[in-house]
Structure 1
Amino acid sequence: MRILAHFDRAAGQAAESIALEPGGGAVIGMIPARQVVRVAPDGAVQVLATMPLPPDGGGTTPVIGIPVVTGVARSDSGAVYFLYSSGQGGLTGIWQVRRSGAPRLVVPLPADTFPNALVIDGKRDRFLVTDSTGGRIWQAPLRGGEASVWSADPALAPGAFFGANGLKVHDGAVWATNSDHGTIVRIPVTKRGGSGRADVRATGLEGVDDFDFTGRGTEILAAINQTSKLVRVGPDGAHETLLDAEDGMQGTTAVAVQGNRAYVTNGANLAGNDPNLLLAELRHTPTEAGRLDALGRVDFS
């Protein structure tokens, strides 16, 4: 395991989300810097876009009271999209990074939403977005336009803070985390693209943020923000800690898997003072599951 890039905490660069690029680069959403940055394979950091403050300074942003850039996604064509939560209509929604550096609003979302994770459902040419304070998943056409609620299943609802948070499309279903309830849920996609009833697949993950699949069925790596952990979640919902604060985790926010590599962001928003992007190697061993060897590599059986 090694640190690929350090970010500027003083400038508000708390790393929140990851979209991987071919060749080993990554696009990262930054809160509360309101930025999207690109990290090159050699660790160089380039700011792609910085969102303007709302007229009121963002004090009406749900729950947290500051405007933030959250989820990021990259299309197969290389277009980069991101979420902005500002408490203001006309600013809150899905934005696209343009080469000019001036972002373009693609899909507006209601001012009272907190859009958190963004994925592209390429099979159905649509965006899917978690709304953490509304406990919903929104959908919108990939070409842009009006959004609609795809699921408001009770399993997505918040408790006191955030409900639906991380989001992935996998094996005919939409998967999401619920931070307040510490769960990962699976929502089947119907033949017409609608949502079925949510099924809770893992519990006991309080403070869970983003996650990704390892490429081995429904095995998951999940970031636990509140306790600064990276955990492995098996197909049966059982979970074990792979990395924690002793390994350098600091307010762990997101994980993205590409081949045998796992990219992990530490926002250092709840613990620590070094927001960064870590890179760990996934190695499959025949006898030891979830072991960390002396070099800090994550091993799976």
Structure 2
Amino acid sequence: MPLLGIVWRVPVTGGRRTAWATTRALRPVPSGTGFGANGIKVHDGAVWVSNTDRGTLLRIPVRRNGSAGRTSVRATDLDGIDDSAFTSRHGDTVLVAGNGTNQVVVVRPKGTHSVVLTQQDGISNPTSVAVRDRTVYVPSASYFAPEPDPNLLLARLNHG
């Protein structure tokens, strides 16, 4: 079954789903892994979505009426991107889990990025990342490791 690359809107009280965002930027690449839109976060008036196949982090503003605004690509070249987490309530600095690359990458507001955690730090195919206060949680699925060792890495966030 092909993945559709759609962000769905579902009423909290239940009911029918409706396609909220359907832009091409959400879809997988035809010759890729089949994973397009993958991780999703709501932050500061927008929905942020990772696209694994395209290696992109997308921002979709939420309009006043609740509909999707124009999608913008906030970062590219994020190989193996899975899920993400913002480093604080304010600002657009994001930590990205790179499942296929065994990395956690920090993405700055203008889209520049750099690796902050690697396999040498103890992660193996991280599927998500979470931030609470100054603690970063990185669960490793260890899907592709020759000797699987699923674990949870805790790191300290050092920012202003």
SS in 2 for 1:283: coil
Question: Aligned to 1:234, which of 108, 128, 131?
Answer: 108
User: Contact between 1:213 and 1:219, CA under 8 Å: does it hold in 2?
Assistant: yes
Q: How far apart are residue 270 of structure 1 and its match? A: 2.3
8 Å Cα contact 2:36/2:54 also seen in 1: yes
Q: Matched residue of 1:186: which SS? A: strand
Question: How many Å apart are 1:283 and its aligned residue?
Answer: 2.3
Shift of 1:239: 0.7
What is the aligned counterpart of 1:142 among 9, 12, 16?
12
Tell me how far apart the structure 2 counterparts of residues 280 and 244 of structure 1 sit (CA, whole Å).
Answer: 12
The residue that corresponds to 1:223 in the other structure is: 97
Runs of 4+ in structure 1 off by over 2 angstroms are none
CA RMSD between the two structures: 1.3
Matching of residues 88-103 of structure 1 within 5 Å:
none
Match of 1:203, as an amino acid?
A: T
* One of 235, 238, 245 as aligned partner of 2:119: 245
Contact (CA 8 Å) 1:173, 1:188: kept in 2 or not?
yes
Q: SS of the counterpart of 1:235?
A: coil
| Offset at residue 155 of structure 1 (A) | 0.7
Which residue of 262, 269, 275 corresponds with 2:143?
Answer: 269
Q: How far, CA to CA, are the matches of 2:156 and 2:13 in structure 1?
A: 36
Is the Cα–Cα contact under 8 Å of residues 122 and 153 in structure 2 kept in the other structure? no
| One of 114, 135, 154 as aligned partner of 1:279 | 154
Aligned residue in 1 for 2:36: 163
Deviation of the 1:137 alpha carbon = 0.4
For residue 171 of structure 1, report the CA deviation from its aligned partner: 1.1
Unpaired stretches in structure 1, ≥5 consecutive residues: 1-61, 64-132, 285-300
Instruction: Map 1:46-125 onto structure 2 (within 5 A).
Output: 62=1
Q: Aligned residues: percent identity?
A: 46
TM-score of the two chains, using structure 2 as the length reference: 0.92
How far 1:279 moved relative to its partner? Answer: 1.5
In the comparison of the two structures, how many residue pairs are matched?
155
Cα distance in 2 between the residues matched to 1:138 and 1:276: 31
Task: Indicate the residue corresponding to 2:62 in structure 1.
Answer: 189
Q: Deviations over 1:206-258 (max 9, x none)?
A: 21000010015000000000011011110111111111111111011100111
The answer (yes or no) to whether the contact 1:225–1:270 under 8 Å persists in 2 is: no
Structure 2: which amino acid aligns with 1:264? Answer: V
3-state DSSP class of the match of 2:137?
Answer: strand
Greater Cα radius of gyration, structure 1 or 2 = 1
SS of the residue corresponding to residue 120 of structure 2 reads helix
Query: What is the match of residue 72 of structure 2?
Result: 199
CA contact (8 A) 1:136 1:156 kept: yes
Task: Return the alpha-carbon distance in structure 1 between the equivalents of residues 17 and 153 of structure 2.
Answer: 34
Partners in 2 of 1:228 and 1:170 — Cα distance?
Answer: 25
Question: What one-letter code is carried by the residue in structure 1 that aligns with 2:54?
Answer: H
8 Å contact from structure 2 (residues 80, 101) kept in 1: yes
Equivalent position amino acid for 1:140 in 2:
V
- Look up the equivalent residue of 1:238 and give its one-letter code: T
Structure 2 contact 123–138 (Cα < 8 Å) conserved: no
More strand by share: 1
TM-score (norm 1): 0.50
